[in-house]
């Protein structure tokens, strides 16, 4: 079965079973091919391992992390949103199933990477404040998420996983497209809370839908100061 078909099959079958509570449905947005800063398609096997890469999807101002974990992600994870909606995440993409993507908006108080500063990023190494390696860590109040398991919450006050970005990988070209989200989106709250700042950063285009392509770049290039903790 083609990977693309497999994702659709999984998305459908995951919600076919009788549910005790409402299920969180995948939300499909306009397709966007992941490209490098020169506009060339990004290839899964060329994504460096354990590096913070950032892109914006499904809206011009909503940041996401793209990560090559350097090892296969778990093939599935059963997760819940803060509203107690269940969903099943179906692992990474690419030849090694190691490429994953998540909203970079912290599920606690929505700290997110701006061009000036970022309190949230992937950390390969443990630290004094981080007993886990290979986590997405928000230094605001130390929420930590496991990117190899659907960004489930490992520690801290976050009430739900980071929303997953649904990726489709084409084995023939090794290219990747973002197609939607799965889990607890916080985009409405995000646009409400940061309306003034987002207007300064993006003009009137903060809520513009991304389609066609979206540029992936290193967080080091995108952000002037990364807070590590
Ligand atoms: S905003 Fe991320 S832990 Fe509070």
pLDDT at residue 79 greater than cutoff 80: yes
pLDDT value, residue 17: 45
DSSP-derived 3-state class of residue 45: helix
Number of H helices and number of E strands within the chain? 4, 16
40-68 pLDDT, tens digit per residue, is: 999 999 999 999 999 999 999 999 999 99
pLDDT band at 9 (very low <50, low <70, confident <90, very high): very low
The mean per-residue pLDDT over the stretch 161-182 comes to: 98
d(CA 28, CA 206): 19
Q: Confirm or reject: Cβ of 144 under 6 Å from ligand 1.
A: no
Structure token digits, residue 85: 């909606």
Three-class DSSP category at 24: coil
Question: What's the pLDDT at 6?
Answer: 40
Coil/strand/helix, residue 119 = coil
- Measured CA to CA, the distance from residue 162 to residue 164 in angstroms comes to 6
Q: Which positions ≥6 away from 103 have C-beta within 8 Å?
A: 62, 63, 64, 162, 163, 164, 165, 181, 185, 186
Summarize the confidence of residues 185-202 as an average pLDDT.
95
In short, whether 160's Cβ falls inside 6 Å of ligand 1 is: no
pLDDT at 197 over 80: yes
pLDDT band at 94 (very low <50, low <70, confident <90, very high): very high
pLDDT in tens, 107-131: 999 999 999 999 999 999 887 777 8
For the chain, what is the radius of gyration of the CA atoms?
Answer: 16
CA 75/CA 184 separation, integer angstroms: 20
Kindly state the average pLDDT of the residues 4-12.
41
Distance 179 CA to ligand 1 centre (A): 26
Looking at ligand 1, which residue's alpha carbon is closest to its atom 1?
A: 109
- How far away, in angstroms, is 15 Cα from ligand 1 center? 30
Is 187 in a helix, a strand, or coil?
Answer: helix
Give me the architecture of the 3-226 domain, per CATH: 3-layer Sandwich (2.102)
Residue of 220, 222, 216 whose CA lies nearest to 43: 216
Check residue 21 and give its pLDDT: 57
Q: How confident is the model at residue 7 (pLDDT cuts 50, 70, 90)?
A: very low
Domain ranges across the chain: 3-226
**Is the CB of 156 inside a 6 Å radius of any atom of ligand 1?**
yes
**CA 74 – ligand 1 centroid, Å:** 25
Secondary structure of residue 53 in the 3-state scheme:
strand
Our answer on whether the CB atom of 41 is closer than 6 Å to any ligand 1 atom is no
Omega within 30 of 0 (cis) for the link into 190: no
Q: Give the Cα separation of 105 and 18 in Å (integer).
A: 31
Mean of the per-residue pLDDT values of the chain: 91
Q: Report the pLDDT value the prediction gives residue 128, as an integer from 0 to 100.
A: 77
The reported pLDDT for the residue numbered 127 is 79
Q: How many A from CA of 157 to the centre of ligand 1?
A: 7
């Amino acid at each position: 079965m083609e990977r693309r078909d497999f994702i659709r099959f999984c998305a459908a079958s995951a919600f076919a079973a009788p549910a005790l509570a409402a299920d969180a449905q995948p939300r499909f947005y306009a397709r966007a091919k992941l490209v490098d800063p020169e506009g060339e398609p990004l290839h899964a096997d060329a994504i460096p391992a354990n590096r913070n890469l950032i892109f914006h999807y499904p809206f011009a101002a909503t940041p996401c992390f793209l990560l090559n974990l350097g090892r296969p992600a778990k093939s599935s994870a059963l997760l819940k949103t803060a509203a107690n909606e269940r969903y099943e995440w179906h692992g990474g993409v690419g030849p090694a199933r190691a490429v994953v993507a998540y909203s970079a908006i912290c599920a606690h108080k929505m700290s997110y990477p701006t061009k000036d500063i970022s309190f949230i990023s992937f950390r390969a190494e443990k630290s004094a404040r981080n007993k886990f390696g290979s986590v997405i860590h928000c230094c605001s109040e130390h929420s930590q998420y496991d990117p190899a398991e659907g960004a489930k919450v490992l520690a801290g006050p976050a009430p739900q996983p980071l929303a997953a970005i649904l990726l489709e990988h084409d084995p023939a070209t090794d290219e990747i497209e973002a197609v939607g989200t799965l889990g607890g989106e916080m985009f409405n709250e995000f646009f409400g809370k940061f309306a003034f700042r987002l207007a300064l950063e993006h003009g009137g285009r903060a809520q513009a839908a991304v389609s066609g392509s979206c540029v992936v770049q290193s967080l080091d290039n995108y952000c002037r100061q990364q807070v590590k903790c």
